[in-house]
Structure formats: structure tokens, C-alpha cells
Structure 1
Amino acid sequence: MNAPAVPEAARNHPAWITPLDQIDVSHPQLYRDYSFWPYFERLRAEDPVHWCKDSLFGAYWSVTRFKDIMEVETQPQVYSSDSRAGGITIMDANVVASLPMFIAMDPPRHDEQRKAVSPIVAPENLARMESVIRERAGQALDELPVGVEFDWVKQVSINLTTQMLATLFDFPWEDRAKLTFWSDAATAIPGAGVVDSEEHRTQIMGECAQYMTRLWNERVNQAPGNDLISMMAHSDATRNMTPEEYLGNVMLLIVGGNDTTRNSMTGSIVALNQYPDEYHKLCANPALMTSMIPEVIRWQTPLSHMRRTATQDTTLGGKTIRKGDKVIMWYVSGNRDDTAIENPEAFIIDRARPRHHLSFGFGIHRCVGNRLGELQLKILWEEILKRWPRPQQIEVVGEPTRVMSPFVKGYESLPVRIHP
């Protein structure tokens, strides 16, 4: 494949002068610094299925183009998600990555356990939750200070997603901050501020297991309720789970309900501030919300990757993948692939095919809560525009602090000011 025409200004960037076999797009610092884009651009152009022989997480294949990612996603018999083979993230040496959970299972166990919790996001249940989501979003926005700088992540994104998690689990309201803490601890890089070591992570997960087991024991002896723990306790597919499976599925549902929605809520503010013409477009025509929400989720890509493990020797993009190899599908790269998405670098709220993205995965592992995440984001922006209908009334006033992780592509803080 011919090397791309590299812009003059970029020719001295490390992404273009580092030998290909030394490029490692998994390094956490790249995500803290937000400096990974040129590396993915080069891999898509020169080596879209790329072998990295040495990283913090061992050797792995990077799959960086949309069509190749789709090929991996649609062959679960060739590319396994099973926790016993390594699970779903590049970080396979920690207690959470090794837990059995339905996203880290292959059929038929995956299908059975996923089915047990899917009623929580059935259309009729989403319709019931809509008024609660709207009330809480309105309350959170009404409590924001106007005219002074504050942190959007803490006061809006974390606040709202934590409340939603507590509702989904019917979790004791006064302890709901534990859910966010457990989610952060599950995915954090040791030493980056949340967990000090793998031993520290294991200790925190033990505390989570103890708390959640108490709730299970209460719910299993009660009439079936409309919350995730009760659904698992009363389903034939999940009522006899091992303690490890239960903790695995709890952590999956906590992380899935927290990180993705929370970082898309923050990403929407970042995107509209970076693209003021789109902010004007939205305020002039709020009906564009319908296409803006999936575009936010594509542009943000709140989880950078998912991992699979090859179950047999196979070929992908002309490369020979060996049985047991770690294969990383970089959603964050596939969502910027100009062979699949027109003008993918830009944030365009009236994009013709806004749902043509990889942020929710594809195939049997497509995100079970995708509609709930979109609903929360849509309601938040409907409530924002009721209160602040003019472009740039919510202004980003400083650089975001980004999560130091090759898995969660998110924000630790975002300074903003609301103009009255």
C-alpha cells in the first residue's frame, strides 16, 4: 500500500517518523495528551492490521479500519470475547478483565445471560423512565451556577449518570456515589489517580461484591422487581450464577451505564464548542437533535476499543493472525475512517447517516443499553435548550483533563461557564 501524502507540517510528527513496527497506540499517555490521532491516521493508511510486538499490555494486533473491525465483530466463532481467553479489553492482567460477564462470553452463554437483563431497556420501560430522566436533568441544570466557572463533568455528567445507575439497580440512594467509584476503579490504569495497584483494585472489587451480594440476597427472596439485580436473581439464565459471574455482570452493567453516557454528555459540550456553526444550527433548529445525538456518540467514541482473542489461525486484511493472538478493534479509529464515513474528522449534526458508526459495537455484542444512553443525552439537550437557547451560552473556558486510559475515552474535568 502506498504511503499517504503527509501534510508538510506533519512530516516531523513522531507518528510519521517512528518506524512502523515500533508504533504502539495503546500507551495510556497518548489518551491523556489526546495525541493519538496521527498514529491511527498512519496505521489506517499504511498498515491497517498492525502488529505491535511490545507494549504495557503485551503483544497485540491493531485493527484500525471500519470494514476490518466489522469483519472481526461478525465472526465470534473466530474472534472470541471469552474472559477465559482474555476478555474484552487490552488490559488482561487485572481482576475485572478476568471476570466472567456476558459481554465476555461467547454464544450460547452470552445470549442467555444478555437476555436476562435486556428487559430493563425494552421500549415500554424506557417510556416509563423518560419522565424521571427529564425531571432529574432539569433539576441538575437548575442548580448550576450561572456566570461563574464550574466543572461540567462533576456537576452534570457524573451527577446524572450516577442517579440513573442507582435507578437501574434500585440502589440505596444515599450510597449511589459508590457506583461511580466502582466504575472508575474497574477501568483505571494503576497509578493514574483512582487505583494505586492491581491489589488495590482487587480490594475495591471485593467491597463491591460484598455490597452487591447483600442486595442480591434481599431481592432473590422478594417478588420479582423492575431492576437489574432482581432481573438477574429471578431469571433462569442467571439465578444460578457463580459469585464471579454475578460480580462480572454487575461491573459490566455499571461501567456500561456510566462511562459511555457520562463521556458523551461531556463530549457533546466539547464538540459544540469546537464547532460553533453546528451549535448555531442546533439552536436554530432543535429538531436536529435526532441526528445530533448519534453524531455525538460517533465523534466522542466513549470506549476507544474492544478486544478479541483468535480461536484459530486466520487471515485479516492480508495478515496472518495466529490462534491465541490478542486482536484490538480500535473503534476510535474506525469512526474516523474516511473510506467508510464521509468527512469523519468533522462534527456534523445533520449528517446523512449519523448511526453509521462503531461506538456501540456490532453483531451479537452490540451495546444492550444504546437506546437508554441516547435517550439520556437527548433529554439533557432538550432541557439545556429550554434554559439556554442561544449558541455558546454554555462556553468551554479551558482545556479538558482527559482520562489516562486506552479503553475509556473520557474526561476527568471540563471547565465551563454559562452566560445568562
Structure 2
Amino acid sequence: MLRPKAEKLALDGRPDLKDPDLYLRGDHHEIFRTLRVREPVYWNPEADSTGFWAITRYDDIEAISKSPKLFSSAKQMGGHRIFNENEIEENQTDATMISMDPPEHASYRRMITPGFVPKRISNMEERIRARVTRLLDNLPKTGEAEFVSAVAAALPIEVLAELFGVPESDGPKLFEWSNATVGEDDPELRVSDEYMRKCVGEMAGYAAGLWQKRLENPGEDLISMLVHSKIDGEPLTFPAYIGTFILLVVAGNETTRNSISGGLLALSEHPEERRKLLDDPSLIPSAVQEIVRWVSPVLHMRRTATEDTEIRGQKIARGDKVVMWYASANRDEAQWEDPYRFDVTRFRSAAAPTQLGFGAGQHFCLGSRLAELQLTVLFEELLKRFPDIHVSGSVRRLRSNFISGIKEMPVRYSV
């Protein structure tokens, strides 16, 4: 998928939320704080498009997410990103279910739901723990490591390989393709349009090979579910399969990977919270929810108004782009007590609000339970094995307005 590069835009001192450098610098939280108070429905012009409404309050984002008839995700309306998906070369892929509305979205979601039912996820815990243990055993005995490549990226890619029913040795390819797919604003990950075409071509060829194998020898993996699914009584088309495959590759590792690395960074910056987990590991499930709230690994999702409407008294015209900023909602003062405090006990109470790191409404992340399980097991084993592990140097972040990601993060630990 070849996407337009973000262009710089002079806004006379007003923030450009589309600017990926904003998130690279870490300036966005203070900007969102100001917008929530002064202009929670904020018009953001674009140098290369029509502009969009930025939605920064929790309640508004939740309401929009649960109103698909009024706020569409459909590709033909522009899709789920700030740029218009229907104007971008798609390399023989159809819209993915993340860029669909009901009832079509529900039909596609049902295809892979059996792969994420609670019993199936819980049955993976032992294998996930074994993977975590092996990854930690393989950390250098020098007491220093690059954590993203060694652990944070490796674990979810290995789990994704299991879901696909492919060898773990295929993981590096899946990882490279995922990075290229979401890294349109990072020159290290999307080095050129030609490189992206190469990645998409390789991914499509790989997926086609799996399609043929699962047609002949179906299993219980996600690929088999897709290949043998029917939509409205008809087999899934190959372009729709390719689109869904790409979505699964990205969704299967980006959120988990960046929550793991961002979570360790947060614990390093708040040693008193790490101490709480060391003293009481039963807090780790609460800490996982707080990590996802704090990191907000997916910064935004976009919808398009299907008719004239209003949000907080602001008129929204039919066809306007509406961008929901999860990173802002997850620190909304109206929803959270002391939202700028990282607190691993925050989610002990059943009365705690739901963090929006996994979205809301019909598009709530289907793999959220699996992501939570990986995070829980990882931090249980990591803190048990290396109680003093901490970030020891400069962190290199992904240049993106979509994914809150960390590319490199050095750590130090006692051995």
C-alpha cells in the first residue's frame, strides 16, 4: 500500500496533529491537554487534503466509535486513517475489516473470531510462557541488551507465527513487512516506494503460498479459517484474503510489541511503581491495563461523517473526516483521576474506566485478550528474572502519527 508522505503545514502557531515529528518529540500530550480544555473538537487543516476534525475527549470518542451509521470506517468513505484509503494504490488488495461498516464488518470479523475465543487464548499461556522464558534466557550475560529486538518484537511475532501455523523462522519476514506497512513516515522503515512495492509483493506471494497449502491441507490456524470461510455464502475472494492477511500481520504484533517496550520504559521512569509489582505480582494484570492506557500504542483512528451532525455544538458536515485521538482520551481529566500519573494499581477496581488503547465499539480489538496475556506473562517472568532491569540509554522512537512505537531501547540488568 503506497501512502502519501505527511507534509509540513504552517498553522500560525496552532498545532498540526498530522505532523509525525510531534509524536517523535513527545510534545503531543501537552497539546492534547490544551485542546481538551479549549477546543476539544479541533479543525486541523492539511497541506495535501481537505483537513479533519480532531476529537480529543474520551466520551466523544466512545460515542463516535459506537455510531457506525453516522461515522463510517468504510474504505469507500476514506477508511480508518487520516489519508483517504480509496485514493491510494492498494496492490490488488480489498478493504480490510477495519475499513468496513456493519453488516459487512461483522461478516468478516466472524471469520477469525474462533481464533481468539477465551478458551483458545488461555490454552496458549503455557507456550507463551515458554517463549518468554527462552527469550529471557537468551539475553546477553553482559547485563546489557537492546530490548526491542531481543524481547519486545520477538515475542508477538513468534505468537503470530503460531496463529498462522507457520515456522517461527518466518517471523523476521513478517516483522519487516509489518514495519514497512505502518512506517510510511519513517525513512528507516519505508526507505522508498519501490521498497514498499517489494514488501507488498513479497507479502502477497507468501500469503498466496499459504492459501494454496491450506486449501489442500486445512488446519486450525487463522489462515485455514480465512481460506475456508464464506461471506454471504460465497468463498472469500483472494484480494479480500490478502487484505485481511496484511491486517493480521500488523495488528498481530504492533500493539503488543510497543506496549511491551513502552511498559518497560514507564516502569523504568517510575521505579516506585515497579517496586509495587515486585512486592505484589498480583498487580500485574492491573499494570498491563495501565501500560496500554499510558502508551496508547495506536494513536488515532479516523471516521467519516455520513450526514451533517454536531459534536459538542460544533457543526460537522457530511463527508468531513473525524479523527479520534486515543492518546488524548486515555489522559482525559474528565475520565481519569490524575491521568498524568502512571499508576499500576489504577485498574484494580472494577469501577475503573476502560482504557481505549484497544479501541471501542464494533472495531474493538479482536486480539486484545491475546495481547493482554502476552503482556502479563512477559512482565511476570521479566520482573521475576531481572527485578532491576531498566532503560539505560537513549530511546529511538518510530516517526509516526499513527503508531506510538519504539525502534530501539537499550536496557541494563543484573545477571
Counterpart in the other structure of 1:53: 45
Match of 1:285 among 269, 277, 280: 280
**2:229 partner letter:** S
Counterpart in the other structure of 1:12: none
Q: Following the alignment from structure 2 to structure 1, what is the Cα–Cα distance between the partners of residues 320 and 65?
A: 16
Measured after TM superposition, the shift of residue 313 of structure 1 is: 1.1
Counterpart in the other structure of 2:228: 234
2:77 counterpart SS class: coil
Counterpart in the other structure of 1:24: 16
Counterpart in the other structure of 1:100: 95
1:306 equivalenced with 2:304 (yes/no): no
Q: Following the alignment from structure 1 to structure 2, what is the Cα–Cα distance between the partners of residues 147 and 322?
A: 59
Counterpart in the other structure of 1:396: 391
**1:314 partner letter:** T
**1:362 partner letter:** A
Percent identity, aligned pairs only, is 38
1:309 counterpart SS class: strand
1:189 equivalenced with 2:184 (yes/no): yes
Over 3 Å counting, the alpha-carbon distance change for 1:29 and 1:74 in structure 2 is same
1:180 equivalenced with 2:172 (yes/no): no
Following superposition of structure 1 onto structure 2, how do residues 13-412 of structure 1 map, counting pairs within 5 Å?
22-55=14-47, 58-92=50-84, 94-95=88-89, 99-190=94-185, 192-223=187-218, 225-237=219-231, 240-351=235-346, 352=349, 353=351, 356-388=354-386, 390=387, 393-412=388-407
Over 3 Å counting, the alpha-carbon distance change for 1:363 and 1:303 in structure 2 is same
Q: Following the alignment from structure 1 to structure 2, what is the Cα–Cα distance between the partners of residues 377 and 57?
A: 38
Structure 2 residue runs of 5 or longer lacking an equivalent are 1-10
Measured after TM superposition, the shift of residue 25 of structure 1 is: 1.1
Measured after TM superposition, the shift of residue 384 of structure 1 is: 1.4
Q: Following the alignment from structure 2 to structure 1, what is the Cα–Cα distance between the partners of residues 98 and 26?
A: 28
Measured after TM superposition, the shift of residue 318 of structure 1 is: 1.2
2:341 counterpart SS class: coil
Contact 1:95–1:198 under 8 Å retained in 2: no
Over 3 Å counting, the alpha-carbon distance change for 1:376 and 1:57 in structure 2 is farther
**1:107 partner letter:** P
1:328 counterpart SS class: strand
Contact 1:295–1:355 under 8 Å retained in 2: no
Measured after TM superposition, the shift of residue 150 of structure 1 is: 1.7
Over 3 Å counting, the alpha-carbon distance change for 1:355 and 1:96 in structure 2 is farther
2:124 counterpart SS class: helix
Larger mean CA deviation between 309-318 and 401-410 belongs to 309-318
**1:32 partner letter:** L
Contact 1:294–1:355 under 8 Å retained in 2: no
TM-score, scaled to structure 1: 0.90
2:333 counterpart SS class: coil
The alignment's C-alpha RMSD in Å is 1.9
1:176 counterpart SS class: helix
Measured after TM superposition, the shift of residue 243 of structure 1 is: 2.9
Q: Following the alignment from structure 2 to structure 1, what is the Cα–Cα distance between the partners of residues 48 and 394?
A: 27
Q: Following the alignment from structure 1 to structure 2, what is the Cα–Cα distance between the partners of residues 136 and 196?
A: 32
Contact 2:227–2:236 under 8 Å retained in 1: no
Q: Deviations over 1:129-150 (max 9, x none)?
A: 1111010000000111244332
**1:126 partner letter:** I
Measured after TM superposition, the shift of residue 368 of structure 1 is: 0.2
Q: Following the alignment from structure 2 to structure 1, what is the Cα–Cα distance between the partners of residues 281 and 376?
A: 11
2:301 counterpart SS class: strand
